[in-house]
Structure 1
Amino acid sequence: MSKKKELLRRAYVVLAMLVLVAILLVGSTVRISVIERSTWTAKGDSTKLEFVDIEPDRGNIYSHDGRLLATSVPFFDLHMDLNSEPMTDRIFVAHVDSLSIYLSQYVFKNESAGNVRRRLVRSRKAGNRYFLIKKDATYNELTQVKNFPLIRLGKYKGGLIVERKSRRLKPFKSLASRTIGLDRENAQSVGLEDTFDAFLRGAVGKRLMQRVGNGVWIPVHDLSEIQPERGQDIVTNLDMRMQDICQTALQEALIRHDADFGLVVMMEVETGAIRAMVNLDGGTSGGQYRERYNHAVADATEPGSTFKLASMMALLEDGFVDITDSVDINHGRAKFGRRVMQDAHWRKETTVSLQRAFEISSNVGIAKVVDDYYGVGDNAGKFLKQLKRFGLHEKTGIEIRGEGAPEIKDTDHPKWNRHMTLPWMAHGYELEVTPLQTLAFYNAVANDGKKMKPFLVSTIKLGTKVIKEFNPQELRSKIASRSTIAKAKELLEGVVENGTGRNIKSSHYTFAGKSGTTKLEYWVKGQNKYQASFVGYFPAENPKYSCIVMVTNPKKDGYYGGTVAGPVFKEIADRCMGTDVSLMAFNNNPKTDILETLPYFEVGYAPDLLKVLREVDLEFVQKTTNDWVVTLPAEEEGGLVVKNRNIDPDLVPNVVGMGLRDAIFILENMGLKVKINGSGKVKDQSLAPGTKLKNQKILLYLG
């Protein structure tokens, strides 16, 4: 019995010991996981290392004359590791007072030096290794902070942690904004930023980081760090002077006609280099027009009467007609199949020459002759073959992604109607092309039949080293015979001399082109939306530039291409003919035109303005060597006088009379936030010149 009791006693002892051990284990688990959790987590964090990416500087985008269009501006988040090992208590105590004074004076301006010191001491005692000094500091602010007491002892003893980031900026703001594009992390990039991303983005670097608790990581400075490689630079064909001319002219027209949106593309005839591309949309806050979508490249729409040139050239190439042949326009009304076609206006004439029908943009005249020759037998195929020879069925291949695909129906298309399709195609309906594709076709006519690929980028560079060059590219060596091209030019010149473009004819130089008026959504009863366009080239006798203007849904003061888009084309051509030295020989009165365009340069950047005055051989007296000047009529000497426009770095400047580009450049570089009302050059400003600068907002009134 006693032996049995002894065994039970021993079992109870073992059980008690097991229970005690279990209690100790549970207690230790609770202590470690709950009571001492933060301590052990911090110790675990201090041993966790990880390599992270260092984003490189993105390459710049330049205009063809070296102006900066897009750049990455660096910003810095500044922190302090107040518990770095080399920062001993002796070092900290010796410098904390003077550091607090500097931080209070230059960073925490609304906080006393005493309060800053208390925060620094508290943070050091709490083991803070990521004390925030400033977020989004500029490079100048970073340089200033690096010279503060304690911090200037170096990155180890001073504890400064610099996290570099960048922000993409466009110095010319809205000019060519959509063409330049956007580089976006969480959405599809667009424009040149997207197409050339592989060149612009550079190579990512690597940095070893240590986690110090609460999700905070600090850099470990060692030899394993791999520095990022800066991206390559893109040099475009864009000319910002022309871009500004085109945007200003278009914006004024959009406002005047209360249009939904509009576009301008300007191209060099011989090379296909795009010198300006403007896309302005309405519907934005404040009633302003902004670049939001590249209509010029992406929108394939029915072109309307600008397509009549292709119809006439097809007829000429096939030898069916000559421009002196006659056509019965029946006062501008005819029936094809079940549909009635009308000209824009009733015509008193019944029979006119084909050239005259083209000049007055007779829908009936062009449709009748196309139907007469191509609407019999299998001849429709000949018409389509000629359109394809012109390259109108193909994309241009411009670098920007998203080019709209042209649509030209074949005879086996399910919607082909043998009575109605040809007549409507003849004057620009039942087919679709983009504005850029239309311009490329007209540019080929101006270029004596050679069709060039429109292109935006000329060079990719790394520093001064050229990585890649993009040369002019020929799409088709000859879209038509020499005879047809000569007659096409005669037709286009006739439009400006005697037809729908005669209201924009210049007495100083010649240009050629065709107006277009497209009715939109014509299948909707009661719909009265139109698209006005004008496409052509100048000077007519030796074309240097081709240009297309399109204005969609003008709601005031007309909707015809000749009265809405045509004046925009002429204003652009006037300014180019008056300021481009290479075109002076084709201008009968260049100095008059130049003087008429000088308000555009009246106040501005001296090197730009003086260069223009010298190149066009205008008499002027220069009375300043400053960067910013104003040109005024010289009362005694005649000609012009160039005087100083004083810019005091501590006072709000006078930007009245400046172009928007120059005004924004000056004001934003002085720390002012700029808002704009209207279009054109600066007529007035909300802050009086001479007001002390305090990082204010300024409203510019344009006109």
Structure 2
Amino acid sequence: MSESNRRATTPRRRPPSEPLGAGRYWLMLGLVMLALGALAVRIVDLHVIDRTFLQGQGDARTLRTESISAHRGMITDRYGEPLAISTPVVSLWANPEQIPEDNIQRLMLAQALGIKVDSLDKRLERYRNKEFMYLRRQMTPEAAKRVLDLGLPGVYGQNEYRRYYPSGEVSAQLLGVTDVDDQGQEGLELAYNSYLTGTPGKRRVLKDRRGRLVRDLHLLREADPGGDLTLAIDQRLQYMAYRELKAAVNENNADGGTLVMLDAHTGEVLAMANQPSYNPNNRAGLDPHGLRNQAVVDAFEPGSVMKPLAMAAALETGRYHPSTILDTAPGWMRIDGFTIRDFRNYKDLSLTDVLVKSSNIGMTRLALDIPETAVLEKYQRLGLGQSPETGYPGESAGSLPSPIRLPRSKRATLAYGYGLSVSALQIASAYTAIANGGKRVPPSLLKLNEPPLTIDAIEPGVADDVLNMLDQVVQPGTGAHRALVPGYRIAGKTGTVRKTSGTGGYKEDAYRSVFVGIAPVSNPRIVTVVMIDHPKGDEYYGGAVAAPVFSRVAGSALRLLDVPPDQPVVATEATDS
């Protein structure tokens, strides 16, 4: 190809200085600068103008306000020994939508939770349209950590508290229980729930997209723990009372029983035990009957333990004194079509012997000879038929008959403990009037920080007379001699009462065995009621079944309370009467 042809086919290159090349350069430079300017404007917009909005959007995805659990207040005995405390636990929850479908991961999760994988799958399926479900409540922190350490998406933990009762079944009915959300459900836990419950706190935290905690930013409000509750209970006496009551119920093959011990001067409940009971820390297979605090919520016909209180009403009329003789022959009598009987024909008895022999005829003659409402009014003055006002949920007020047109038979039965219903706590409170020179002290489940208000219930001289009469009831050779405590003078009264049949009558072979005791007589410190429900052993009388429980419990209590003996220990051989 010639040189001229080659030049004709090769395009000519323009030098950079030519106008078209310069325009392209400045065009590209302008575009770059425009892009940089737009970027700068956007940066300013994001960091200055829209900063609040964007920060809010970011915070909504990473910042959380979390609740800080507040532990429930502690319940202690009168000396500060813990009866109910809150321990930290972890509840695991999940977002079902985030749980992996991988079978291996689900198997690992189920094994860590201690459940079957089929069960886990069914629960996840049930909550598949929800964002929250509990995997397991109230695990120990160590067990929960093993699950969380698996690092599975959608599995989270929240700190909570669980109630623990160091005394177990010993104080179960008195204390009550809380539910899984740490709210009181029974007993004192329910009665003082608002006081014991704390106020949760709040904190601001930073979390990643999987909900894991990245940083604890700041505290919004501190958790305020619940108030502590100090009971009148002496845990030493409570353990001892429960042990002896349980042994007596088992020994006599009884349906149950209850025991109440009051401080004679203050009315504080030093011990309150019930059978059957339950372990509040493990409620699997719980017998609902064991939930009942029988000492407070159950009322029953008390029988002969009411005779000393009716005797006080008779002595206050001024017509009688402890040595007054009554003719109880022939040992039975009919009133309003009903037959009243003594164990045997005691013939002439002093009023003291009426209590010693527990004569129904003697008490009937007294009741029919004094003003017709005298006994009923005395019971009312002693707090019977009225709420004890301890604040315990479901406490029984018992029942008394109407004073209007009180028939002679009703006046008689009231005098020896039938035709009314009372709780064990009410009986103990009524007997504090005998122990305190006529002043009754209302019962208190809480420790008192100041002297209690007292109620004039019995004339002082009459109260002292009845106390000395009851001292004669508990002597060697009497039916109550098994209540004796070596080294101490004991005043008390037995009772053996038939159980009602539910159809208006009484069962032939079902009884409650009762004993009420005051110790020591020279300076009363404790009042104790023991009731054994339907003993099915060889014996069922109050003196044979309930009195020995009092002896063991009162003897240990007096020594634990450092109460000095008030009589020398004399070896005696006693026989049942």
Q: In the alignment, which residue of structure 1 is the partner of 2:564?
A: 584
Question: Which letter maps to 1:446?
Answer: A
Q: With structure 2 as the length reference, what TM-score do the two structures score?
A: 0.72
Distance (whole Å) between structure 1 residues aligned to residue 88 and residue 209 of structure 2: 28
Distance (whole Å) between structure 1 residues aligned to residue 286 and residue 347 of structure 2: 46
Q: In the alignment, which residue of structure 2 is the partner of 1:358?
A: 355
CA contact (8 A) 1:272 1:472 kept: no
Q: Classify the secondary structure of the residue corresponding to 1:420.
A: helix
Distance (whole Å) between structure 1 residues aligned to residue 392 and residue 500 of structure 2: 28
Please point out which of 505, 521, 538 is paired with 2:484.
Answer: 505
Please point out which of 387, 395, 400 is paired with 2:387.
Answer: 395
Higher relative contact order (CA 8 A, sep 6+): 2
> Are the structure 2 counterparts of residues 289 and 242 from structure 1 closer, same or farther at C-alpha, using a change threshold of 3 Å?
farther
Once the two structures are superposed, what CA deviation does each residue of 1:369-406 show, in whole Å capped at 9, x if it has no partner? 211x13xxxx3133333333333343221131221113
Percent of aligned positions that are identical:
26
1:278 aligns with 2:256: no
> Are the structure 2 counterparts of residues 210 and 566 from structure 1 closer, same or farther at C-alpha, using a change threshold of 3 Å?
same
Q: Classify the secondary structure of the residue corresponding to 2:247.
A: helix
Q: In the alignment, which residue of structure 2 is the partner of 1:539?
A: 520
Please point out which of 529, 536, 540 is paired with 1:555.
Answer: 536
> Are the structure 2 counterparts of residues 526 and 254 from structure 1 closer, same or farther at C-alpha, using a change threshold of 3 Å?
closer
Once the two structures are superposed, what CA deviation does each residue of 1:153-210 show, in whole Å capped at 9, x if it has no partner? xxxxxx9965211211111111111111112368972222112212211112245699
Q: How many residues align?
A: 474
CA contact (8 A) 2:208 2:214 kept: no
Q: In the alignment, which residue of structure 2 is the partner of 1:327?
A: 326
Distance (whole Å) between structure 2 residues aligned to residue 306 and residue 408 of structure 1: 16
Structure with greater Cα Rg: 2
Q: In the alignment, which residue of structure 2 is the partner of 1:652?
A: none
CA deviation after TM superposition for structure 1 residue 578, in Å:
3.8
Q: In the alignment, which residue of structure 1 is the partner of 2:548?
A: 567
CA deviation after TM superposition for structure 1 residue 54, in Å:
3.9
Q: In the alignment, which residue of structure 2 is the partner of 1:404?
A: 396
Q: In the alignment, which residue of structure 2 is the partner of 1:683?
A: none
1:176 aligns with 2:171: yes
Question: Which letter maps to 2:416?
Answer: H
Q: In the alignment, which residue of structure 2 is the partner of 1:316?
A: 315
CA deviation after TM superposition for structure 1 residue 527, in Å:
3.6
> Are the structure 2 counterparts of residues 363 and 203 from structure 1 closer, same or farther at C-alpha, using a change threshold of 3 Å?
same
Distance (whole Å) between structure 2 residues aligned to residue 183 and residue 550 of structure 1: 28
Q: In the alignment, which residue of structure 1 is the partner of 2:296?
A: 297
Report matched runs for 1:178-197 at 5 Å. Answer: 178-184=173-179, 189-197=185-193
1:70 aligns with 2:84: yes
Question: Which letter maps to 2:442?
Answer: K
Report matched runs for 1:125-274 at 5 Å. Answer: 138=140, 163-184=158-179, 189-206=185-202, 221-223=216-218, 225-274=220-269
Distance (whole Å) between structure 2 residues aligned to residue 340 and residue 219 of structure 1: 84
CA contact (8 A) 2:307 2:416 kept: yes
Once the two structures are superposed, what CA deviation does each residue of 1:318-358 show, in whole Å capped at 9, x if it has no partner? 11211211122224311111000112x223x3221121111
CA contact (8 A) 2:205 2:218 kept: no
Report matched runs for 1:518-537 at 5 Å. Answer: 518-521=497-500, 523-524=504-505, 527-537=508-518
CA contact (8 A) 2:172 2:277 kept: no
Distance (whole Å) between structure 1 residues aligned to residue 347 and residue 367 of structure 2: 18
CA contact (8 A) 1:161 1:218 kept: no
Q: In the alignment, which residue of structure 2 is the partner of 1:483?
A: 461
CA contact (8 A) 1:521 1:527 kept: no
Q: In the alignment, which residue of structure 2 is the partner of 1:627?
A: none
> Are the structure 2 counterparts of residues 163 and 322 from structure 1 closer, same or farther at C-alpha, using a change threshold of 3 Å?
same
Q: In the alignment, which residue of structure 1 is the partner of 2:17?
A: none
CA contact (8 A) 1:516 1:534 kept: yes
Q: In the alignment, which residue of structure 2 is the partner of 1:346?
A: 344
> Are the structure 2 counterparts of residues 572 and 287 from structure 1 closer, same or farther at C-alpha, using a change threshold of 3 Å?
farther
Q: In the alignment, which residue of structure 2 is the partner of 1:515?
A: 494
Question: Which letter maps to 2:473?
Answer: V
Distance (whole Å) between structure 1 residues aligned to residue 554 and residue 548 of structure 2: 10
Q: Classify the secondary structure of the residue corresponding to 1:361.
A: coil
Worse-matched range after superposition: 307-316 or 273-282: 273-282
Q: Classify the secondary structure of the residue corresponding to 2:169.
A: coil
Once the two structures are superposed, what CA deviation does each residue of 1:445-471 show, in whole Å capped at 9, x if it has no partner? 11111211211222xxxxxxxxxx753
Question: Which letter maps to 1:239?
Answer: D
CA contact (8 A) 2:88 2:159 kept: yes
> Are the structure 2 counterparts of residues 242 and 394 from structure 1 closer, same or farther at C-alpha, using a change threshold of 3 Å?
same
Q: Classify the secondary structure of the residue corresponding to 2:563.
A: helix
Q: In the alignment, which residue of structure 1 is the partner of 2:452?
A: 473
Worse-matched range after superposition: 136-145 or 445-454: 136-145
Worse-matched range after superposition: 55-64 or 183-192: 183-192
Q: With structure 1 as the length reference, what TM-score do the two structures score?
A: 0.60
Question: Which letter maps to 2:380?
Answer: K
Question: Which letter maps to 2:450?
Answer: N
* Structure 2: gaps (5+ residues): 1-56, 96-107, 115-130, 572-577
Distance (whole Å) between structure 1 residues aligned to residue 409 and residue 338 of structure 2: 7
CA contact (8 A) 1:46 1:210 kept: no
Distance (whole Å) between structure 2 residues aligned to residue 80 and residue 422 of structure 1: 68
* Structure 1: gaps (5+ residues): 1-42, 82-103, 111-128, 152-158, 459-468, 593-703
Once the two structures are superposed, what CA deviation does each residue of 1:82-137 show, in whole Å capped at 9, x if it has no partner? xxxxxxxxxxxxxxxxxxxxxx9xx9799xxxxxxxxxxxxxxxxxx99x999856
Distance (whole Å) between structure 2 residues aligned to residue 433 and residue 77 of structure 1: 45
CA deviation after TM superposition for structure 1 residue 283, in Å:
11
> Are the structure 2 counterparts of residues 486 and 136 from structure 1 closer, same or farther at C-alpha, using a change threshold of 3 Å?
closer
> Are the structure 2 counterparts of residues 143 and 64 from structure 1 closer, same or farther at C-alpha, using a change threshold of 3 Å?
farther
Q: In the alignment, which residue of structure 1 is the partner of 2:424?
A: 435
Distance (whole Å) between structure 1 residues aligned to residue 500 and residue 249 of structure 2: 20
Q: RMSD across aligned C-alpha pairs, in angstroms?
A: 4.1
CA contact (8 A) 1:45 1:213 kept: no
Worse-matched range after superposition: 182-191 or 383-392: 182-191
Question: Which letter maps to 2:324?
Answer: D
Question: Which letter maps to 2:434?
Answer: V
Please point out which of 490, 496, 510 is paired with 2:474.
Answer: 496
Distance (whole Å) between structure 1 residues aligned to residue 179 and residue 91 of structure 2: 21
Question: Which letter maps to 2:190?
Answer: D
CA contact (8 A) 2:73 2:196 kept: yes
1:446 aligns with 2:435: yes
Distance (whole Å) between structure 1 residues aligned to residue 329 and residue 397 of structure 2: 36
